[in-house]
Structure 1
Amino acid sequence: MASEKISPGMQQYLDIKQDYPDAFLLFRMGDFYELFYDDAVKAAQILEISLTSRNKNAENPIPMAGVPYHSAQQYIDVLVELGHKVAIAEQMEDPKQAVGVVKREVVQVITPGTAVDSTRPDTSNNFLVAVDRAGEAFGLAYMDLSTGEFYATNLSDFATVRSEMLNLKAKEIVIGFELTEEEEEILTKQMNLLLSYEHDSRQDVQLIGLGFSTLEVSAAEKLLQYVHRTQKRELSHLQKLVHYEIKDYLQMTYATKSSLDLLENARTSKKHGSLFWLLDETKTAMGTRLLRTWIDRPLVSLEAIAERQEVIQTFLNQFFERADLTDSLKGVYDIERLASRVSFGKANPKDLIQLGHTLARVPHIKAILESFESPALVTLIDQLDTLPELELLIRSAIDPEAPATITDGNIIRTGFDEQLDTYRQVMREGTTWIAEIEANERQASGINNLKIDYNKKDGYYFHVTNSQLANVPDHFFRKATLKNSERYGTAELAKIEGQMLEAREESSNLEYSIFMRVREKVESYIDRIQALAKGLATVDVLQSLAVVAETNHYVRPTFVSDGHLAIVNGRHAVVEKVMGAQVYIPNSISFEEGQSIQLITGPNMSGKSTYMRQLALTAIMAQMGSYVPAESCELPLFDAIYTRIGAADDLISGQSTFMVEMMEANQAIKRATDQSLILFDELGRGTATYDGMALAQSIIEYIHDKVGAKTLFATHYHELTELSTKLTSLVNLHVSTLEKDGQVTFLHKIAPGPADKSYGIHVAKIAGLPEDLLSRADHILQGLEAHAAQVSVVDKGVQPVQSTIEESASHQLSLFAEEVTSPVLDKLTKLDPMNMTPMEAMSALFELKKML
């Protein structure tokens, strides 16, 4: 390439591309954005567009691909969603007036973490995260460029950093330090994140302020530097940095949130079947985002929880007023993201019309809230700034039928600007004026066929044939001579023409100028618009929770300080919604004084996991401020929830089910306090039976003796039920079953005491396994149960479990031994003593003895 002559235009492309080697460079050329070289080849494949070439006759033609500028956003969206960066190089001068190559510059770099103009609407946040490190400590800052939210915190280790990134669902991370190979692999390969490095800092005291740690400031500065470097503009909508601590909210790892299906169904990755789906009766995009945040970060402040509960209670008490409020919110647009469009300089007339419509609704919403006459609503009402002067400006300035574009005119209302009204009058009445001039001159001159025509060269002119030249008035002046006619002008016609041409050319320019002034005025209100957006979103979420509480007959939970827990006839909120209230079987959950661990035994499909998740979801809903599905509910205030539910390999990181189990158990054991909630479902099943049993017992003992957290531990290891004789804070529970004529029905009710057996073969029967297979399994089971040693776990060490291994292993081998067949055994196996009369039993026994 170096030996070939490069055109000035291509040299300009190469010079710009050199500064953006990690991005697709969209190079504006007329009505297209063009890509060249490797960018063109890759983009053609990804976007399914034609790959052509520049200088086709050259020895090495340059690969080229392009997309129309007016539809470029949809192609940009595809590239960004796949984790790529896109640099936009625009023409910075009019090509008609340019001398030499048109000047071009990159005006914006769009990345997965900075995308704000997607053609695919999404109400969820898009957080860009920055991380910096000093020793073993980390500073983390994150921002949503579409809303201006800006937060920072301190974290103690890389595992917590990773968990927070997962919780934020980040797509791109700005790194301010050197990663180890292992850390880079975790972020890029396992988490599929785009890494962007930023080693410089941008001090912005206005946004960052004082009182933050050095690491928080460093991470926030690097984030700001990266945002300004890629967006290439000052962003007035960015909010001041807010400090938060993980412990300020109910702590939950990403794995916990996923296993509880909080924001999406873990199996389908869809909203349906999640707690978010259940609680979402919001009417605004802002409310939807805030609801996600509340679910993701429940509170640990009793005062803040009570404030939300009081508002919900107020809404429940007055149905008709709440219905009016709900209807009023339906016309509220996403003014939080609209503020960012204003800041980016991308707000169009439709955006301002939507802002105006929203502002026009605020006084009505505020009046409805005031009609409740509730002290609980005072703070919310104060947050609803009506901004009457801004609403009046938009209503007065922007035509309600204005198009989305800002260069085609018809944006500004008639009556807003006197000069613009004059231009419009000239354009509207100019044709009439010309017709009047034509009629007057025809009558005065006596030229019956005198008429006015127009072309671009001569403008407006009188057309006079050669036969009528003698009648041409003296005030006519010649503009052009043709073979059979002459073209004339007059001072009056020239004046009207000048006015019409000026009106035509200047009105759209004036409208654009007026619109820009209005938009600048709106920008000066961004802080107040964002505050209003938060207030409207809060009202929306609280009315949503009230609607859900009323529809599903939820109750207000009470928080107690003595560690007591009592849920009467509680339900799993999501399962109940899916199944229907008439089908769902409620369960009460209680921890009496001195109890901290419930050991739950029973078969699969019987309801153990639902029972456990029910408690977690009830606690999360309660600490959100929501009402909960129960007849009554008393809860302690939890500081964290840890779970190990479900079996799944982490294939990408090469971790087995058992390794995932142990890592999640480790997180719980090390981080939980006596104020935490732990849910362990079938812990230890990922390894050999006795290994798993030994670990399960040790974990239960450790939690009992050293942690003290409220714990639900579901297990198949019936031997563990003996722990209740030694661990004073542990109680046994089981899932009730009804067994009749060999058929088992799971009642889905939790009852005191241990289960008597596991009913695994009955579950297999429900699953539809072949009858002969089930019969064989039942035969093997009866043999094992007849010969198994009755060994109990009587000590707190693992030695009793080891003795169980030694005494039972020989019997386990019978699973693989050749079956011994005997007519006597076959007949004995088929007998059902429980359903035989004494005479039938004696007769059968006589027959068996005779056969022997």
Structure 2
Amino acid sequence: MTPVTGLPPAMADCKDDVTPMLSQYVELCEQHPDALVLFQVGDFYEAFCEAAEEVARVCEVTLTQREDSTGEYPMAGIPIDNAASYLERLVDADYRVALADQVEDAEQASGLVDRAVTRVITPGTVVEDELLAAGSTTYVASVVERETDDGERDGYGIAAVDASTGECFVTTVPTRGNVREELDRIQPNELLVAGDAPTVDPDGNWMETEIDAELFEREVARDRLSEYVADPDRRIDNDAEARACGAVLAYAEYTQGDDGPLEYVSRIRRHDHRDQLRLDAAAIRSLELFDNRGAGSRATVFGVLDETASALGRRCLDRWLRRPLVDRAEIEARLDAVDALVGDGIARSDLHDRLGEAYDLERLAGRISQERANARDLRALYATLSIVPELKELIADIPALSDHHARLDELRDVATLIDEAITTDPPMELTEGGVIKQSFDNELDTLRTTEQDGREWVADLEAAERERTGIDSLSVGHNQVHGYYIEVTNPNLDQVPDDYTRRQTLKNAERFYTPELKEREDEIFGAADRADSLEYELFCDVRATVAAETDRIQTLASVIAELDALCSLAIAATKNDYVRPDLQAAAAEPSIEIHGGRHPVVETTQQEFVPNDTDLDAGGVAIITGPNMSGKSTYMRQVALCCLLAQTGSFVPAEAATLPVLDRIFTRVGASDDIAGGQSTFMREMSELTEILHDATDRSLVLLDEVGRGTSTADGLAIAQATTEFIHDELDALTLFATHYHGLTDLADERAGVHNLHFAATREGDDVTFLHRVAPGASSASYGIEVARMAGVPTPVVDRAREVVASTTGDASDSDAAADTADDAAGQPAADNDTTTDPTASAAADDALADALADQTLDAETVAAVAAELQEIDIATMTPLEALNTLDELRTTLER
């Protein structure tokens, strides 16, 4: 972001001559050169000059002109009462916004009202509820390169903090590639960098913020950490972690307007990437764990599993899915808990209902600790504490949840204090009374009694004065300017008693007060003002007492979050007919055995889903062939997801499953160009393949889909075969390899650990039916031309493609049909060494289709129109369904 603060150059040169208010604005802009300063003027946040132009453009508010002794300059403002929606627009536009509030009462100021920046709102440090989605996380992160004592580079320290919840963690990873992997897992909104910070891939979905390099210095960082943890060396593994953590904490303090530590960041956790199932960006994306470019935001793995009742549980489930376990005992413990809830429907339902009453304790604790919580926040905390005894009772007889039962702290002292002090339905404002309960404080009760007695006396005054004066139209009233008054209309002024003193003259009446009314007024207003002030003091004392228990509140929040996540997994398992997986013994060679496996997301989007078995021995490589759209990619993903869900602690979509504990899942599935990074589809494919071949182990699962398709047929087949041989011979990784290179299936005869699977289809005439059923052996055809016809490619193109295939490979259609008929009749696939089909028939069909398209005669205007539309298409972001629909539209254009 280019800073847009301060005055235009012409005015900046003479800023000493501008008005005091504008000079104050400029000083604040200079103190925050990387932010857009919004300056409180009464009920509005105002921006001036360049900043005003940006606010007007982004927030779509009117750009006005302000005129003073310096001349005219732009001004734009947003109402403070409705600031959240405008601030959200500015943050979404990647602006940092510094809020300069009036920190002095305008009525008591002798001159210019004092203002100061109280908050800096950035994408990574948002804490306002109005700007945060329920259950979301908002991280600011930093990366520091680690050096050994002799100056050698030795990995990277990474730290992240969520300023809205106080969650803070650090980790160390060995390589630059691992840095990107960890950042993809964290998904920070903001990344802090300094002049010598290590370069991170530029295509991350975060804002980069350059901060003072001093904040990354070793001693500065360790001094800051010592304010958060008693012994940093016990909690932080190395200097790189300490420097990264110190920097993010310093930045969080700066944005929250605090001069000292953030009290609610009371625990700094260490993650070790070796203690979790590793998932890089490619795996997270291709397995569609959190994002799906198809229809429906819930069409993701997280969306299927998310039956959480609270924001706490949603964040916990998100963390679990991003960091699956690798410790067998921890996985079994989580599965035991889910199993117990699956088996007890009443407890599960009641637990879910009670958890739905829990407020977001993590964010409440942050607001309370920062003195930003109002009375309603404290009542929300009380409401959550009120359900804890019920939660304990519900899980008391569930052995698998005994640890959670023991950690459920009812915080009775805190709950009692809040209930005794804070009214049941308090107002939003803290300074206008109505916050503290009667009988909580004797002095406050006395003041309220004095105020109430006085108001009752005033209420009775009108009747008494009418009787005393004989003026039936006399009335008693009150306004903010003149206080209490007795109003008498002009025709009755001759009846006004001598003790009336004139207070205000109106057109048709006069207003008076009496000495007794003035005395009562002073008593009422004095008591009310003192009561309001005392209420605020009492509330602050209560809030401070609660804030002292932040650590206990956060511990309780963690337990409630875990219970909610476990309950969510149990509900998803019951709702979707999942089964508990059996984990292999740690000493066993890793293998995968799944009966009736399903894809957890795809099955929810289709009326019927065909389950499939998987039997992959240790070090096994399965070569999977079959037509496009037959289910190869879905099958591979469902195997990976069953493994991933099991290590998350979830049941899996299958009839039965025996699974290993994997160390990593690799996916080379799908393809898209990295245009910004200068990588073609093939180059990106090879880069991802390189990482797999370097890092995979015998406890890794590797999914390869159409590797080598981005180059010539000969080169692609050679790369695919060499890759398969290397994985089999050197890595022993569990591997599923989907391909159209039928020649690759010959490896099953050459290597004991390689076997063939295929997805069959039947054809009647020109109609192809995909069976979506996996079976042993290699496929006898790919049906590329038939798929093109089904997608709507013009008939002349399809016919020409068939002619080319026939001339290249023989009568492919007849031989494919014969092979399919034989397969269906015998219930078995064609033999791996089937000689009726050329191993490169699929590639030949693709080439034939391309040639046929090139031969199609079209008028120049139509070609130009289609070409123009093609240039506008972003293929990398299209779903298969969107691509087919677009292809159909283009076909229609060509046939007109």
TM-score by length of 2: 0.82
> After the TM superposition, which residues 464-475 of structure 1 pair with which residues of structure 2 at under 5 Å, given as runs?
none
Confirm whether residue 33 of structure 1 aligns to residue 37 of structure 2: no
Q: Could you tell me which residue of structure 2 aligns to residue 843 of structure 1?
A: none
Q: 1:618 aligns with which of 627, 638, 642?
A: 642
Structure 2 gaps of 5+ residues are 1-10, 147-152, 816-837, 856-896
Q: Could you tell me which residue of structure 2 aligns to residue 824 of structure 1?
A: none
Q: Could you tell me which residue of structure 1 aligns to residue 890 of structure 2?
A: none
Q: Which moved more, 1:189-198 or 1:46-55?
A: 189-198
The amino acid across from 2:188 in the alignment is: A
Contact 1:74–1:118 (CA under 8 A) maintained in structure 2: no
> CA 1:100–1:482 in 2, change beyond 3 Å: closer, same or farther?
closer
Q: Which moved more, 1:408-417 or 1:431-440?
A: 431-440
Deviations 1:547-589 (A, max 9, x none): 1111222111011133232101111111112214xx1110000
Alpha-carbon distance between aligned partners in 2 of 1:354 and 1:260, rounded to the nearest angstrom: 38
Q: Could you tell me which residue of structure 2 aligns to residue 658 of structure 1?
A: 682
> After the TM superposition, which residues 275-674 of structure 1 pair with which residues of structure 2 at under 5 Å, given as runs?
275-370=301-396, 373-434=397-458, 447-449=469-471, 453=476, 489-490=514-515, 493-560=517-584, 561-580=588-607, 583-592=608-617, 595-674=619-698
Question: Secondary structure, in 3 states, of the residue corresponding to 1:678?
Answer: strand
The amino acid across from 1:37 in the alignment is: C
Q: Deviation of residue 401 (structure 1)?
A: 2.0
Alpha-carbon distance between aligned partners in 1 of 2:673 and 2:101, rounded to the nearest angstrom: 48
Contact 1:411–1:515 (CA under 8 A) maintained in structure 2: yes
Question: Secondary structure, in 3 states, of the residue corresponding to 1:500?
Answer: helix
Contact 2:766–2:786 (CA under 8 A) maintained in structure 1: no
Q: 2:233 aligns with which of 192, 195, 210?
A: 210
Q: Could you tell me which residue of structure 2 aligns to residue 70 of structure 1?
A: 81
Q: Could you tell me which residue of structure 1 aligns to residue 832 of structure 2?
A: none
Q: Could you tell me which residue of structure 2 aligns to residue 274 of structure 1?
A: 300
Contact 1:90–1:106 (CA under 8 A) maintained in structure 2: yes
Question: Secondary structure, in 3 states, of the residue corresponding to 2:228?
Answer: helix
Deviations 1:305-360 (A, max 9, x none): 11111111111222112211111112111111111111222212221121111111
Contact 1:764–1:774 (CA under 8 A) maintained in structure 2: yes
Alpha-carbon distance between aligned partners in 2 of 1:539 and 1:223, rounded to the nearest angstrom: 30
> CA 1:300–1:463 in 2, change beyond 3 Å: closer, same or farther?
closer
Q: Could you tell me which residue of structure 1 aligns to residue 291 of structure 2?
A: 264
Alpha-carbon distance between aligned partners in 2 of 1:48 and 1:729, rounded to the nearest angstrom: 64
Q: 1:708 aligns with which of 728, 732, 747?
A: 732
Deviations 1:603-627 (A, max 9, x none): 1101111110010000011001111
Alpha-carbon distance between aligned partners in 2 of 1:813 and 1:549, rounded to the nearest angstrom: 47
> CA 1:756–1:503 in 2, change beyond 3 Å: closer, same or farther?
same
Q: Could you tell me which residue of structure 1 aligns to residue 274 of structure 2?
A: 247
Contact 1:198–1:222 (CA under 8 A) maintained in structure 2: no
Q: Could you tell me which residue of structure 1 aligns to residue 183 of structure 2?
A: 165
Q: Could you tell me which residue of structure 2 aligns to residue 175 of structure 1?
A: 193
Contact 1:190–1:652 (CA under 8 A) maintained in structure 2: no
> CA 1:752–1:367 in 2, change beyond 3 Å: closer, same or farther?
same
Larger radius of gyration, structure 1 or 2? 1
Alpha-carbon distance between aligned partners in 2 of 1:97 and 1:147, rounded to the nearest angstrom: 36
Contact 2:599–2:653 (CA under 8 A) maintained in structure 1: yes
Contact 1:557–1:635 (CA under 8 A) maintained in structure 2: yes
Q: Which moved more, 1:517-526 or 1:763-772?
A: 763-772
Question: Secondary structure, in 3 states, of the residue corresponding to 2:601?
Answer: helix
Q: Deviation of residue 717 (structure 1)?
A: 0.4
Q: Deviation of residue 73 (structure 1)?
A: 2.2
Q: Which moved more, 1:535-544 or 1:561-570?
A: 561-570
Contact 2:19–2:70 (CA under 8 A) maintained in structure 1: no
Alpha-carbon distance between aligned partners in 2 of 1:312 and 1:164, rounded to the nearest angstrom: 28
Contact 1:567–1:588 (CA under 8 A) maintained in structure 2: yes
Contact 1:784–1:812 (CA under 8 A) maintained in structure 2: no
Across the aligned residues of Structure 1 and Structure 2, the Cα RMSD in angstroms comes to 3.1
Alpha-carbon distance between aligned partners in 2 of 1:804 and 1:457, rounded to the nearest angstrom: 95
> CA 1:34–1:595 in 2, change beyond 3 Å: closer, same or farther?
closer
The amino acid across from 1:293 in the alignment is: R
The amino acid across from 1:156 in the alignment is: P
Alpha-carbon distance between aligned partners in 1 of 2:790 and 2:115, rounded to the nearest angstrom: 69
Q: Could you tell me which residue of structure 2 aligns to residue 800 of structure 1?
A: none
> CA 1:213–1:230 in 2, change beyond 3 Å: closer, same or farther?
same
Alpha-carbon distance between aligned partners in 2 of 1:670 and 1:337, rounded to the nearest angstrom: 42
Q: 2:126 aligns with which of 109, 115, 121?
A: 115
Alpha-carbon distance between aligned partners in 2 of 1:740 and 1:603, rounded to the nearest angstrom: 15
Q: Could you tell me which residue of structure 1 aligns to residue 209 of structure 2?
A: 195
Alpha-carbon distance between aligned partners in 2 of 1:19 and 1:497, rounded to the nearest angstrom: 47
Contact 1:479–1:489 (CA under 8 A) maintained in structure 2: no
Q: Deviation of residue 210 (structure 1)?
A: 2.1
Contact 2:485–2:511 (CA under 8 A) maintained in structure 1: no
Question: Secondary structure, in 3 states, of the residue corresponding to 1:782?
Answer: helix
> CA 1:147–1:447 in 2, change beyond 3 Å: closer, same or farther?
closer
Alpha-carbon distance between aligned partners in 2 of 1:634 and 1:804, rounded to the nearest angstrom: 35
Contact 2:619–2:728 (CA under 8 A) maintained in structure 1: no
Query: How many residue pairs end up in the alignment?
Result: 785
Q: Deviation of residue 657 (structure 1)?
A: 0.9
Alpha-carbon distance between aligned partners in 1 of 2:706 and 2:233, rounded to the nearest angstrom: 48
Alpha-carbon distance between aligned partners in 2 of 1:812 and 1:147, rounded to the nearest angstrom: 56
Q: 1:755 aligns with which of 766, 779, 782?
A: 779
> CA 1:66–1:479 in 2, change beyond 3 Å: closer, same or farther?
closer
Alpha-carbon distance between aligned partners in 2 of 1:814 and 1:437, rounded to the nearest angstrom: 98
Contact 2:666–2:702 (CA under 8 A) maintained in structure 1: yes
Q: Deviation of residue 816 (structure 1)?
A: 6.3
Q: Could you tell me which residue of structure 2 aligns to residue 10 of structure 1?
A: 22
Q: Deviation of residue 427 (structure 1)?
A: 3.6
Alpha-carbon distance between aligned partners in 2 of 1:776 and 1:466, rounded to the nearest angstrom: 109
Structure 1 gaps of 5+ residues are 791-802, 820-852
Q: Which moved more, 1:202-211 or 1:701-710?
A: 202-211
Alpha-carbon distance between aligned partners in 2 of 1:460 and 1:238, rounded to the nearest angstrom: 51
Confirm whether residue 96 of structure 1 aligns to residue 120 of structure 2: no
> After the TM superposition, which residues 693-704 of structure 1 pair with which residues of structure 2 at under 5 Å, given as runs?
693-704=717-728
Q: Deviation of residue 413 (structure 1)?
A: 2.2
> CA 1:236–1:480 in 2, change beyond 3 Å: closer, same or farther?
closer
Contact 1:452–1:460 (CA under 8 A) maintained in structure 2: no
Percent identity for Structure 1 against Structure 2: 37
Deviations 1:736-767 (A, max 9, x none): 22344554322111111111121212222322
Q: Could you tell me which residue of structure 2 aligns to residue 829 of structure 1?
A: none
Alpha-carbon distance between aligned partners in 1 of 2:839 and 2:94, rounded to the nearest angstrom: 54
> CA 1:486–1:276 in 2, change beyond 3 Å: closer, same or farther?
closer
The amino acid across from 2:721 in the alignment is: Q
Q: Deviation of residue 493 (structure 1)?
A: 4.7
Contact 1:299–1:623 (CA under 8 A) maintained in structure 2: yes
Q: 1:127 aligns with which of 116, 136, 139?
A: 139
> CA 1:347–1:487 in 2, change beyond 3 Å: closer, same or farther?
closer
The amino acid across from 1:425 in the alignment is: T
